[in-house]
Structure formats: C-alpha cells, structure tokens
A and B are shown apart, each in its own frame.
Chain A
C-alpha cells in the first residue's frame, strides 16, 4: 500500500510539474535567474544521487566472485569517458568493459 501511495504521489506531482508550464505558458515566464537556480538544483540533485549510489556500492557486501577492484575500475573508466564528453551509451559501455576486463583478469590470476 505504501508503494502504491508513493508511486501515485510522485506520478501526480510529476505530471503537475510537467503540465503547469505548458498550461500557463501564456501567463508566466521564468526569469533567466530562476532558470539558472533551477538548473543548479537539478545538477545538485543528480550529484547527491551519484554520491548515494557510490556510498551504497562501497557499503554493500561484496558479491561472491566479484573483487571490489572491478567495480571501482568500471566507475573510474566510466568517469574518464564522461569527462571526455562521451555519450551515455559509450560511458556505460566503457565502464562495463573495464568492469568485465578487471573481473576476467582477477579470475584468471
């Protein structure tokens, strides 16, 4: 019941967030300053999520047969790919390839 209530709340809220600007376009216009602050908040939210997922990765018990080095190698290579302005698909591909390669190397040795 909690899950359904939370999903419904987020669904309704998300729809309102999307619909209100479209419905009020003739009346309201965000100032550049407001857009700038909203953009900063979005980036901060994504950063907080990233920190949370990495913290979760660091604290969760290791998967049998998966050395932590493989996970960190995947993240590091993904970050480098992202810093090089690669697309999301390529970042995922690079990160997962590094993860797989490290896993393979540690298994072989």
Chain B
C-alpha cells in the first residue's frame, strides 16, 4: 500500500531536524539545523523562543483516541463473538493482549477453529501482521536515542490506529518527545478500550440475533481498507492479482490463499507499475 511509503517519505522529512536527546548524545546541533527539543532538556532558564511542549501530550493522545474507539467496536464485537464461540475461549481471548491486532487475531482463531494446523494458522496471521513491521519502521526514527524500555513498551502497541494518529502528531511541531508521549496516550486508551470491547462482545455478543448482520462487519471493514487504497495502476494490478489468486486458492487448506495471494499481489503491482511507467514515457 502506498500509504506506508508516503508516510515514510513524510516522516523522513519531518524528522530531518531531530536532535538526539542531550542526556545521551551530548552534541550540538549542526549549523542551521532546527533545534527541535525532545523535551528532556526542558529547563526553566532555557531561552523561551521555542519551549518544549510535552506536558499534557499523553492526555491529548488519550483524548484523541477516545472518540475513535467506537469505530472499532464492530470489529471488537465480531472478535468477541468469534472468541466466545471458539472451542478454547480463554486461550482465544488471550490474543487480545498477546497479539493486539484485530484482523490477525480473528484470522488465527477462525483458522484454528476450522481445523487448520497451528503453524499454518500462525503463519497466515503473521503475514497479515507484516504491515506492523512497516509501521514500526516508519515510527522508529522518533525513538532514536531513547531508552530500551521505552522502545520495548512502544513496540507492544504499534497497530493501525496508533500508527496513523502518531504519524500525524510526529509531523506537527513539538519534537519527538511530545510525539512519543502522545503515542503512549493513544496506545493506552486503545489497549484497554479494545480489550474491554472484545470482552463485552464475548458476553453480550451471544445476545445479538443472527439477523443483526454481524457477519457483514468483517468484509465491510476490509472493504473500507482495500477499496480506498486502489488509487494507482500498481495498486489496481496488485489487488486484481491477489483477488484472482485468492479465488483460485479458495479450495486449498485454510490460510493457503493468503500465502498464494501475497506474492501474486506483489507481482501484479510490479506489472501495474511497469505498465504505468510505459504509459508515462509514451
């Protein structure tokens, strides 16, 4: 998806003026470099030209995430219902905390319940979560020079909404420290809020009649992610090839379609990109 690439370019530009924390790397900013303070060096006697604004960033992040939580309620409810119907509900529920990625969690629970092998189910879910490595890679530059604990804690909650909100915040003025605090505020609300909603879905989901159409929620969520991403010839080629491969592999064991569709999608995107390039050169 082009989003990650664009974001990477964006944050690379935004982070160009980043100054490493003074307490760890005591070097002066280069001449002409913007002195974006990371907040650690905030002192009362510092020049007041651009005071660091890290205070309240955690709260701001939490308050930004809070109204978005209901948007994830349908997915959480669907996971809750699936977990409750699973043959091992307690183990399936633990995925809320251990995986903390709705689609992959749903996929692994559904596949194990459908009789797929542990390795096949896990591999499929991990393939879905490959995007998290990209998200993490694009956020990582803002954790340069920070302590190990901060990185380890941040890594636990890198997922679509935290990445999206944090990326916007990192692009704003204020420095990496403010962005990190904002990120942790977003993460905390999502972490506990999503787990709470899944648990409510487990308990109350059974009360929802089948006519309520909960089975529609998963495809609709995926439609909302896939369709807007088709904005270029490469994306269209990738989606078309992946869809064709997934249909062709539908009869194969659970999870296989994903393994087949990913390289097919990459190949389709490459072809689309090449064709678009030829069109431009004509």
Contacts and interface: CB of A to CB of B under 8 A. Distances in A.
B225 A88 contact: yes
B133 A88 contact: no
B217 A43 contact: no
Q: Which of B219, B225, B264 neighbours the largest number of chain A CB atoms within 10 Å of its CB?
A: B219
A51 to B, nearest CB: 4
Interface string A60-99: 1001111000110011001101110111110110011001
A100 B137 CA distance: 41
Contacts of B223: 50, 75, 78-79, 82, 91, 95
B13 to A, nearest CB: 13
Contacts of B148: 23
A48 B155 contact: no
B220 A46 contact: no
B224 A78 contact: yes
A39 B1 contact: yes
B85 to A, nearest CB: 12
B242 interface: yes
Interface in B135-194: 135-137, 139-141, 143-144, 148, 151-152, 154-156, 158
Interface stretch (B58-66, B93-101, B274-282): B93-101
Name the prevailing secondary structure of the A interface residues. Answer: helix
B56 interface: no
A7 B98 contact: yes
Interface string A35-56: 1111111111111111111110
Contact of A95 (B121, B216, B241): B216
Contacts of A10: 95, 98-99, 104-105, 108, 121-122, 125-126, 129
B265 A47 contact: yes
B5 interface: yes
Interface stretch (B39-47, B195-203, B245-253): B245-253
A5 interface: yes
Name the prevailing secondary structure of the B interface residues. Answer: helix
A40 B266 contact: yes
Contacts of A100: 213
Contacts of A66: 210-211, 213
Contacts of B206: none
B4 A38 contact: yes
Contacts of B129: 10, 13-14, 17
Contacts of B158: 18, 22
Nearest to A33: B5
Contact of B100 (A14, A30, A45, A70): A14
Contacts of B263: 41, 44
Interface of A: 1-11, 13-15, 17-26, 30, 32, 35-55, 57, 60, 63-66, 70-71, 74-75, 78-79, 81-83, 85-89, 91-92, 95-96, 99-100, 103
26 contacts: A2-B118, A8-B98, A10-B122, A11-B98, A13-B122, A13-B126, A14-B101, A14-B125, A18-B132, A18-B133, A21-B136, A22-B155, A36-B2, A36-B5, A38-B131, A43-B242, A44-B238, A44-B241, A45-B128, A47-B242, A48-B260, A51-B257, A52-B250, A52-B257, A55-B250, A96-B217
